[in-house]
Amino acid sequence: MSFEDIGSYSDDQVRDKIHSLSSNKEFLSFLNRILFPKLSNFFPSLFRAYIKFKFNHIFSDCNSIKEFQDNMAPLVEFMISQTTDGFSFSGEENLTTKPTLYIGNHRDISLDPAFLNYLLYKHDKDTVRIAIGDNLLDGGFAEDLMRLNKSFIVHREIKGAKETLRKLSNLSAYINHSLSVDKESVWIAQREGRANDGNDFSDEAVLKMLYLSERKNMNLNEWIKSVNLTPISISYEYDPLDIIKATGWDHHEDLTIEEINASDLHEMVEGIFGYKGKVHLHIGKPIEREVDNTEELARILEDQIIENYHLWPSNLSATKMLKELENNLDLDSEYKPGIELDFLAKRFSSLSPEIRKECLLIYSRPYLNKKKGQTFV
């Protein structure tokens, strides 16, 4: 079975792809606008030449994916130092050299697996292959960058039952081949797309897809153990895209595919370069419980992801600011107000009441989901 159309790049493709990127005027102009936003319209050819020189200086000697990622690591470290107040982690005792299928919550287009890869890199473990939706992989420079960084393609909005089964089977086979044959770990989100509303809920359909190509070879519990199925939870103190998520994407209905792709790319950049406060990543324990079906497995994963989600003062502050929730909760025993209250108040002060409420709920829902058995908005 061929995986060339969806797989991450191989070592023998690295030099050609890096050369292609360094010669791509669109890519260089894109970096110019990011790195020199106030100067990008002045002497653009000069700045593109400078960016090309720096890009080649960092990456032109790379001959493998590992070398590319090793050279990328200082840039990730710089991003963490400039856009966060610190990156912490827990559960590192659950890391292993065994190829592992990590299933995690999904808040940011590119950063969720990037933080996992950075943690693995710092612990001298192999990085993961990353499942990413095809909305960002349109054959342009973004696709080259992501597939150089071990991303592989998940097709969305497939038309027709036969085509759906074919593509899902191929994707499932690629993921299981990565784990069992290539000995490469894999990261995939617990459901399709980001949790834009703050609810980290699992979708059973993801697990059905993952098990699809192996269902005739082993039972579900054998498969779970064979892939070392491990839940992970990432939490950001502040979400650079909170207002965009609360507003929604209804306006996309009037956009072309190219415009939607450009919007997605812009959001990816906002997530990378936007202020995130503190960030925490927890590596959960591999699933060892026997399960009867994928529905039960989805609930187990979801419970662990929510349980291990690291709450920040911003989560409690947002709940405190929602008066209809405050009356139903005993926040005083848990809540110590700090600068995050003013931060959120100022950040959302110009929004309509409806959008402001949804912004606050994005922060509040992780806290509410830990308070099971209670009724909330």
* Residue range 178-202, pLDDT digits in tens: 999 999 999 999 999 899 999 999 9
Owner of token pair 């590192």: 92
Owner of token pair 């359909």: 205
Residue 376 predicted with pLDDT over 50? no
| Residue that terminates a domain, selected from 307, 335, 355 | 307
Q: Mind giving me the DSSP string for 126-178?
A: PPEEEEEETTS-SSSHHHHHHHHTTEEEE--S--SHHHHHHHHHHHHHHHHHH
Domain count, the chain: 2
Identify the weakest region by mean pLDDT among 15-29, 132-146, 308-322, 355-369: 132-146
Residues 122 and 192 placed together within one structural domain of the fold: yes
pLDDT tens-place string over residues 263-280: 888 899 999 999 999 999
Distance of alpha carbon 196 from the chain centroid: 12
CATH number, residue 139: 3.40.1130
In a domain, 55, yes or no: no
CA distance 213 to 168: 9
Please report the pLDDT score of residue 47 as a whole number. Answer: 87
Residues 363 and 228 placed together within one structural domain of the fold: no
Please report the pLDDT score of residue 123 as a whole number. Answer: 96
CA distance 174 to 212: 11
Residues 204 and 320 placed together within one structural domain of the fold: no
Please report the pLDDT score of residue 176 as a whole number. Answer: 98
Backbone angles phi, psi at 103, to 5 degrees: -120, 120
DSSP state of 46: H
HSE-CB for 136 with a 13 A CA cutoff: 23
- How does residue 139 score in pLDDT terms, banded at 50, 70 and 90? low
Residues 111 and 243 placed together within one structural domain of the fold: yes
Please report the pLDDT score of residue 333 as a whole number. Answer: 63
Backbone angles phi, psi at 151, to 5 degrees: -85, 145
In a domain, 267, yes or no: yes
Residue 326 vs residue 228, higher pLDDT: 228
State which residues form the domain around 122. 66-307
Residues 180 and 257 placed together within one structural domain of the fold: yes
Do β-strands 185-189 and 151-154 pair in parallel, antiparallel, or remain unpaired? unpaired
In a domain, 293, yes or no: yes
- How does residue 254 score in pLDDT terms, banded at 50, 70 and 90? confident
Residues 301 and 353 placed together within one structural domain of the fold: no
| Residue that terminates a domain, selected from 282, 307, 332 | 307
Residues 163 and 286 placed together within one structural domain of the fold: yes
Do β-strands 230-236 and 185-189 pair in parallel, antiparallel, or remain unpaired? unpaired
What mean pLDDT do residues 301-322 have? 94
Please report the pLDDT score of residue 374 as a whole number. Answer: 47
Query: What are the Cα distances from residue 335, in Å, to 54, 216, 328?
Result: 47, 51, 14
In a domain, 4, yes or no: no
| Residue that terminates a domain, selected from 307, 323, 350 | 307
Q: Find out whether 226 and 178 touch, Cβ atoms under 8 Å.
A: no
Residues 258 and 174 placed together within one structural domain of the fold: yes
Percent residues over pLDDT 90 in the chain: 74
What mean pLDDT do residues 2-8 have? 89
- How does residue 171 score in pLDDT terms, banded at 50, 70 and 90? very high
Owner of token pair 């929604």: 248
Please report the pLDDT score of residue 85 as a whole number. Answer: 97
In a domain, 186, yes or no: yes
Please report the pLDDT score of residue 330 as a whole number. Answer: 63
Residues 249 and 105 placed together within one structural domain of the fold: yes
Query: What are the Cα distances from residue 325, in Å, to 139, 305, 306?
Result: 46, 23, 20
Residues 343 and 269 placed together within one structural domain of the fold: no
Residue 373 predicted with pLDDT over 50? no
Residues 232 and 325 placed together within one structural domain of the fold: no
**Whole-model pTM over 0.85:** yes
Residues 192 and 238 placed together within one structural domain of the fold: yes
In a domain, 375, yes or no: no
User: How confident is the prediction for the chain on average, in pLDDT?
Assistant: 91
What mean pLDDT do residues 50-73 have? 96
- How does residue 337 score in pLDDT terms, banded at 50, 70 and 90? low
In a domain, 145, yes or no: yes
Query: What are the Cα distances from residue 292, in Å, to 222, 289, 298?
Result: 12, 10, 11
In a domain, 49, yes or no: no
pLDDT tens-place string over residues 89-121: 999 999 999 999 999 999 998 999 999 999 999
